[in-house]
Structure 1
Amino acid sequence: MGTHLLLDFFGTIVEYSPSRTDQGYHGSYALLCGRGCRLTYPEFLAAWSAVAAEFDRRSDVDEREFSMTELGAEFLRRALGGTPDPADVETFVTTYLGEWSSGIRYLAGMPDLLAGLAAEHRLAVVTNTHRADLVPGHLTAMGVAHHVDAVITSVEVGWRKPHPAIYAAALDALGVPASGAVFVGDTYVADYAGPEAVGIRSYLIDPARRHPVPDGRRLDSLADLPGLLGGG
């Protein structure tokens, strides 16, 4: 078995919209209204964005990850004017994530590409996410979960990329040193500079040539990786 591959998920294995409000969230809004909230739909989206931005700003400072449960609970507390029932939080979060996931697009040819990589290498997915079961669920829906030996999520580790702890967790899950792994992703700091800083050789999906990486480490897509793994 060859090099161990650590793969980002969002923007690498799937295309997605990072926006928290671009998709339709009428089911989530209906749940909120059913609990007595009087926000209009645009006000609901604005309030949700504002609370999420607060959580993001805190994480940007120290790279600690927050969960969708924490975010949902705080949003419902403000929107409803009291401490929400945990069951209501779970229902809201599950509904919201189902609607958000409508912006995820599975790429043609990706299952075959991952199957080919898994035939030569052990694979792990290393992803920033606020919900532990979100990415495993999509891997299962894509029919590729059996190719992946481990899924490392920031919400389970407690730290988001580029914190060293999440890369260490991935290496521990595969039982390899940094020198025995390669990282691939589409975000410069999280997926290239971060893993490089802990000794993991990295490749960046950067078709627009926006970031300062050597040409031999730059990919147009994940499909370029098999041809470059033998190089530096």
Structure 2
Amino acid sequence: MPTHILFDFFGTLVDYDARRTAQGFPRTHAELVGLGAGVSYAEFLAGWDRAFAGFDLGSAAGDHEFSMTQVGTAYLAEVLGRRPAAGEVDAFIRLYLAEWSAGVTYPDGVVPLVRSLSRVYRLAVVTNTHQPDLVPGHLAAMGILDAMDAVVTSVEVGRRKPHPAIYAAAVERLGIEPGAAVFVGDTYTADFAGPERFGMTAYLIDPSGRADVPADRRLRSVHDLPEAMRRP
């Protein structure tokens, strides 16, 4: 009988657009120009995407995680032609994340679902993210940060899902064995295969049935989880 539920965050508890430059970023671009960068808005979007892609490529082999500070420092150094000050990097990142977060939406019914589950199970979020305070900030805005016994982020662990280190950090923080937890998320490798290899029971949000998972572990949305967990 599981005692804990570990949630993925993006695509599981909130909806979002995974593209890094899907939103409008006029304030971020204005900040960049104010720092002395002679780049157009289109050049900013393309260059920011390239900077992230370079870090992703370097991290892919070992599931290493990088921070927004690292990619922001590298990008600003490129477009400014000098090493940016820490305050400049922080201001740039804060503006970017504020504008990007405008595209994160909180689906109806998730808050009461989490509250209901928290009366029966201990809950945690285990998420890939480049900014340690981004997910806790959204959970606080949703009003459910206090329902989580832990928020474990890849940038703080240094490894992203599906590396076992992030699941190990979660169960260590919660003081449990892997078999005491179920994991639920929307990405097969990170949220199903990885947790299963680590010894957890995983449920995958896969409404179109594309992934090769047992039928009783496939969810249309996170709202199907309580019923799925009640099945023998």
Alignment TM-score > 0.5, same fold: yes
Residue 228 of structure 1 deviates from its aligned partner by 1.2
Amino acid of the residue matched to residue 116 of structure 1?
S
Cα distance in 1 for partners of 2:142, 2:80 equals 37
Amino acid of the residue matched to residue 196 of structure 1?
E
Partner of 2:105: 105
Cα distance in 2 for partners of 1:33, 1:44 equals 10
For the pair 1:215 / 2:215, whether they are aligned, the reply is yes
Partner of 1:96: 96
Amino acid of the residue matched to residue 117 of structure 1?
L
Structure 2: gaps of 5 or more residues: none
Partner of 2:42: 42
Please say if residues 183 and 195 of structure 1, whose CA atoms lie closer than 8 Å, have aligned partners that are also in contact: yes
Displacement over 6 Å in runs of 4+: none
For the pair 1:14 / 2:8, whether they are aligned, the reply is no
Deviations 1:199-230 (A, max 9, x none): 11000000010100000000001100001113
Task: Give percent identity, aligned residues only.
Answer: 53
Q: Provide TM-score, normalisation by structure 1.
A: 0.98
Amino acid of the residue matched to residue 87 of structure 2?
A
SS at match of 1:62: coil
Partner of 1:162: 162
Cα distance in 2 for partners of 1:218, 1:20 equals 28
For the pair 1:29 / 2:29, whether they are aligned, the reply is yes
Cα distance in 2 for partners of 1:9, 1:85 equals 32
Partner of 1:75: 75
Please say if residues 2 and 182 of structure 2, whose CA atoms lie closer than 8 Å, have aligned partners that are also in contact: no
Residue 231 of structure 1 deviates from its aligned partner by 3.0
Cα distance in 1 for partners of 2:180, 2:154 equals 22
Residue 48 of structure 1 deviates from its aligned partner by 0.5
Cα distance in 1 for partners of 2:102, 2:210 equals 28
Partner of 1:64: 64
Cα distance in 2 for partners of 1:150, 1:231 equals 27
Cα distance in 1 for partners of 2:137, 2:193 equals 28
Structure 1: gaps of 5 or more residues: none
1:132-171 equivalence runs, <5 A: 132-171=132-171
Amino acid of the residue matched to residue 221 of structure 1?
S
Cα distance in 1 for partners of 2:28, 2:228 equals 44
Please say if residues 118 and 147 of structure 1, whose CA atoms lie closer than 8 Å, have aligned partners that are also in contact: yes
Please say if residues 126 and 151 of structure 1, whose CA atoms lie closer than 8 Å, have aligned partners that are also in contact: yes
Residue 2 of structure 1 deviates from its aligned partner by 5.5
Please say if residues 2 and 120 of structure 1, whose CA atoms lie closer than 8 Å, have aligned partners that are also in contact: no
Partner of 2:231: 231
Cα distance in 2 for partners of 1:171, 1:150 equals 10
Please say if residues 5 and 123 of structure 2, whose CA atoms lie closer than 8 Å, have aligned partners that are also in contact: yes
